[in-house]
Amino acid sequence: MPRGDRAGGRTAGIIRRLLLPGGAGTAWPHHLLPRPPCGRGKLAFRTHRQVLARWTRSRSPESHTGAPDILIREARAADEARILELLPLIPQNAGLSDPAKRAAAQRFRESLALDVLVAEVDGRAVGFLALSFVPVLSGLRALIDDMAVDPKCQRQGIGAALLEAAIQRADQRSATHLLVDTSRGDAAAREFYQACGFEAGGIAPLRIR
């Protein structure tokens, strides 16, 4: 089913309740994203949020107070070209062939297994995160497949905003762990993931419940 037609589907509906409570065509600023309910998850989320905030301040203290308003929303069909433009920023995607790009575009349009979140600043998509869910016998795992931020917009808290949204999304779906392949990122990305609590090297799990 095309991505643009998924608004009524189960996956899109869950994302919209988390990120788009005002309905289609609206989005919430990152600092107003819904917080998790009270309980064990609340403490974990508060801890992750503090780590993300410290990371942002330590990397760009001069821009922290003047950081842009960041909207985190689900991807739309119109985002396809921009996401494909950002995709090669991931080191392991740097040499994507044309057939690989076409295959990525098809997965973006048709895959129901992918939740793609977009970071928007001043009406322009400046980053994205692709999240998938894998059921296992012991529960549900969430996997960050790809994440990229426009180099001109880095060190402004956009990566942290996307990661927090992914953690909230995974918690909403009752995933026990959020996984990321840290080897796919550059040195700065690996440092970022480790600062956020992911283990170093290969597939790194972050326990969220």
Asked if residue 150 has pLDDT above 60, the reply is yes
Query: Which domain CATH number covers 11?
Result: 3.40.630.30
Q: Please, what is the average pLDDT of the chain?
A: 72
Q: What value does the mean pLDDT take over residues 177-195?
A: 73
Q: Which domain holds residue 161?
A: 3-207
Task: Sort 32 into a burial class: Cβ within 10 Å, 0-12 / 13-18 / 19+.
Answer: exposed
- pLDDT value, residue 2: 55
d(CA 67, CA 62): 9
Task: Check: CB of residue 119 under 8 Å from CB of residue 71.
Answer: yes
Q: Count the domains in the chain.
A: 1
Asked if residue 189 has pLDDT above 50, the reply is yes
- pLDDT value, residue 6: 42
Q: In what order do the strands lie in the sheet with 71-74?
A: 28-29, 71-74, 114-121, 124-136, 139-149, 177-181, 203-207
**Which of the two residues, 70 and 30, has the higher pLDDT score?**
70
Q: What value does the mean pLDDT take over residues 106-122?
A: 92
Q: What value does the mean pLDDT take over residues 5-9?
A: 39
- Phi then psi dihedrals of residue 15, to 5 deg: -60, -45
Q: What value does the mean pLDDT take over residues 164-185?
A: 84
Task: Check: CB of residue 170 under 8 Å from CB of residue 145.
Answer: no
**Structure tokens, 45:** 């989320």
Summarised one tens digit per residue, pLDDT across range 78-92 is: 999 999 999 999 888
- pLDDT value, residue 203: 66
Asked if residue 205 has pLDDT above 80, the reply is no
